């Protein structure tokens, strides 16, 4: 039985500033997107029969961004085999897992489209999807869809995802912004310049939602544990609740992760990850796209 595999990475936001609320109700922001080595897995299995899709466990089809993309593929009625999505990126965690799946699904659904077309299609699905089409590192502005692609040095990070469900999280956080939470994006641009020139990051990485998120005891607890474990530069990724610590390298990241587990082995999910460069249409993705079409 033939099987093919493809992966898509999570992201962190190395700083996120909300600049203003727009007249259309959305918000302009400035953020530095960075892909990291925590992956969702797409598995295609040859069955000899019509196409079957098995989405992430516990995700309804109408909320599954990957399925919403695949369902409008113009030739889906002729596909074959089984496609299963295995979630390894925590859901609703500020790591972009759903948007990442949608970006990979776009490459499967529209294999002949160039990146510019996929970015246009992705922007309709969600603000983070265009980044995942490109991958790597990107300075984003506007609603998050205006991207400047960058080359950055490798970083090692520790991710901690607290076990908390914030109902209507994104809407709640944006509606809870206060005047002091808004800024002009200069801090994120400074971070971008520092990384591009292989300089040390500033002592703080801003996130416009930090004030609200750290008001939840379970998130504050995870933040404090990172400090107790030796992390000196901690911030929130996206709309959280995942926190990340930027470290001095793999050994430092592994040491911090081990200390976290020693402090409370029953607590939140902990990951040691590194930054990932842009990937594009990898051979594994192309192979699945062809297999779906019986090629």
C-alpha–C-alpha distance, residues 208 and 183, integer Å: 8
Q: How far apart are CA 269 and CA 202, in angstroms?
A: 27
- Tell me 201's DSSP state: P
Catalytic residue among 11, 101, 181, 252: 11
Task: Report the b/e string of 16-34 with b at 16+ CB within 10 A.
Answer: bbbbeeeeeeebbbbbbbb
Strand order in 156-161's β-sheet?
Answer: 234-236, 243-246, 156-161, 269-274
User: Which tokens belong to 31?
Assistant: 């953020």
C-alpha distances (whole Å) from 285 to each of 96, 134, 268, 281 are 19, 14, 32, 6
Using DSSP's 3-state secondary structure scheme, residue 88 falls into coil
Tokens describing residue 277: 């460069």
**Active site includes 128?**
yes
Query: Which of the residues 40, 128, 181, 252 is marked catalytic?
Result: 128
- DSSP class of residue 202? P
Please tell me the distance from the alpha carbon of residue 136 to that of residue 36, in angstroms, as a whole number.
Answer: 8
Q: Which residues are catalytic?
A: 11, 128
């Amino acid at each position: 039985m033939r099987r093919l595999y493809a992966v898509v990475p999570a992201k962190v936001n190395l700083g996120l500033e909300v600049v203003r609320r727009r007249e259309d109700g959305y918000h302009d922001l400035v953020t530095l997107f960075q892909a990291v080595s925590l992956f969702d897995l797409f598995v295609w299995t040859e069955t000899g029969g019509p196409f079957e899709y098995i989405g992430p466990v516990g995700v309804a089809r109408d909320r599954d961004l990957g399925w919403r993309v695949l369902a409008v593929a113009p030739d889906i009625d002729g596909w074959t085999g089984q496609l299963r999505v295995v979630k390894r990126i925590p859901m609703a965690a500020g790591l972009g897992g759903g948007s990442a799946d949608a970006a990979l699904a776009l490459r499967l659904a529209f294999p002949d489209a160039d990146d510019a077309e996929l970015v246009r299609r992705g922007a309709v699905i969600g603000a983070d999807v265009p980044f995942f089409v490109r991958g790597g590192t990107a300075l984003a502005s506007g609603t998050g869809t205006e991207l400047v692609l960058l080359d950055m040095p490798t970083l090692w990070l520790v991710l901690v995802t607290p076990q908390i469900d914030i109902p209507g999280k994104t809407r709640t956080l944006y509606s809870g912004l206060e005047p002091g939470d808004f800024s002009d994006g200069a801090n994120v641009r400074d971070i971008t310049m520092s990384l591009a020139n292989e300089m040390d990051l500033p002592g703080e990485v801003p996130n416009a939602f930090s004030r609200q998120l750290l008001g939840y005891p379970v998130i504050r607890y995870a933040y404090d544990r990172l400090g107790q474990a030796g992390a000196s530069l901690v911030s929130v990724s996206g709309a959280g609740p995942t926190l990340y610590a930027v470290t001095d390298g793999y050994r430092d990241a592994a040491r911090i992760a081990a200390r976290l587990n020693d402090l409370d082995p029953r607590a939140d999910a902990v990951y040691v990850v590194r930054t990932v460069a842009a990937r594009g249409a990898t051979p594994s993705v192309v192979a699945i796209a062809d297999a779906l079409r019986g090629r």
